[in-house]
Amino acid sequence: MDIKVSRGIYLTQISEADKPSLLKYINDPDIYNYTLKIPYPYLGKDADDWISFVEESRLKERVLKHWAIKNENEELIGGAGFHSKYGKLSHKDEIGYWLGKPFWNKGIMTDVVKKVCEIGFSELNLVRIEATVFSRNTASKKVLYKSGFVLEGTLKKFYFKDDKLIDADIFARLR
Ligand SMILES: CC(C)(COP(=O)(O)OP(=O)(O)OC[C@H]1O[C@@H](n2cnc3c(N)ncnc32)[C@H](O)[C@@H]1OP(=O)(O)O)[C@@H](O)C(=O)NCCC(=O)NCCS
């Protein structure tokens, strides 16, 4: 079922048919540079694994927690969801998201994050939604501020990626 976010932007479950647009937009060093788990290059097998993972976790958790972001042409242009970081029964979870570069700086992710939080609070029964962002990721931090998140602190040398220690800022939004 499609969930309307804003004019021309929808959330839906990813399917096999979305594989070409997923590969087209996620294969970007600038997405890799600001995220922890998205590989670069992003191969066909990575896409297959992700599509299967989403369906398997939907069946296991009996609810969809990872959405494909689609535009008015029904093209996948990004993704957003919850990581189930603290287990499926927890009152809290972490949000994650990415968007294809041609669509940046149009306010799309701010609308998506607001909608995903609404779903998290009303349907997934979350009380606290966290986001842990590389401190240098100005655009993502702006999305969080605009979506009602509050900065709780900086986690020094929190991540280790590509032989570098990375500072992260932790944000939260409460129900
Ligand atoms: C972060 C990301 C999702 C933002 O999506 P988006 O749809 O472009 O976000 P929005 O347009 O809603 O908001 C971005 C804001 O950051 C601002 N911005 C972007 N780059 C900036 C920069 N280098 N310095 C200052 N502000 C910047 C934009 O102007 C906009 O603010 P405004 O609405 O006040 O003008 C997208 O850039 C992305 O996918 N990045 C790579 C993956 C990633 O970082 N994921 C999040 C990991 S925590």
Closest residue by CA, ligand 1 atom 28: 105
Residue 140 resides in a domain: no
* H or E element, residue 120: helix 108-122
The model's pTM? 0.98
CA–centroid distance, 91 to ligand 1, in Å, is 28
Residue 167 resides in a domain: no
pLDDT at site 167: 98
Residue 21 resides in a domain: yes
CA–centroid distance, 61 to ligand 1, in Å, is 30
Of ligand 1's listed atoms, the one at least distance from the Cα of 104 is: 8
The better pLDDT of the pair 18, 88 is held by 18
CA–centroid distance, 13 to ligand 1, in Å, is 23
> pLDDT category, 56, cuts 50, 70, 90?
very high
pLDDT at site 112: 98
Mean pLDDT of 64-75: 97
Domain that holds residue 126: 3-131
pLDDT tens per residue, range 121-170: 999 999 999 999 999 999 999 999 999 999 999 999 999 999 999 999 99
Residue 39 resides in a domain: yes
Mean pLDDT of 4-9: 96
Mean pLDDT of 54-73: 96
How far apart, in Å, are the Cα atoms of 159 and each of 41, 114, 137, 170?
20, 26, 14, 12
Closest residue by CA, ligand 1 atom 33: 107
With 80 as the cut, is the pLDDT of residue 1 above it?
Answer: no
pLDDT at site 88: 84
Closest residue by CA, ligand 1 atom 21: 139
> pLDDT category, 107, cuts 50, 70, 90?
very high
Instruction: Please count the structural domains in the chain.
Output: 1
Q: With a 6 A CB cut-off, is 137 part of the ligand 1 pocket?
A: yes
pLDDT at site 40: 98
Indicate the top mutation candidate among 135, 143, 149 to test ligand 1's pocket, ranked by most ligand atoms within 8 A of CB. Answer: 143
Of ligand 1's listed atoms, the one at least distance from the Cα of 134 is: 48
Q: With a 6 A CB cut-off, is 109 part of the ligand 1 pocket?
A: yes
**Which CATH number does the domain housing residue 117 bear?**
3.40.630.30
Tell me what the pLDDT averaged over the chain comes to: 97
Residue 116 resides in a domain: yes
pLDDT at site 122: 97
Mean pLDDT of 98-125: 98
Residue 175 resides in a domain: no
Residue 82 resides in a domain: yes
Ordered DSSP codes for 42-102:
--HHHHHHHHHHHHHHHHHHTS--EEEEE-TT--EEEEEEE--TT-TT-SEEEEEEEE-GG
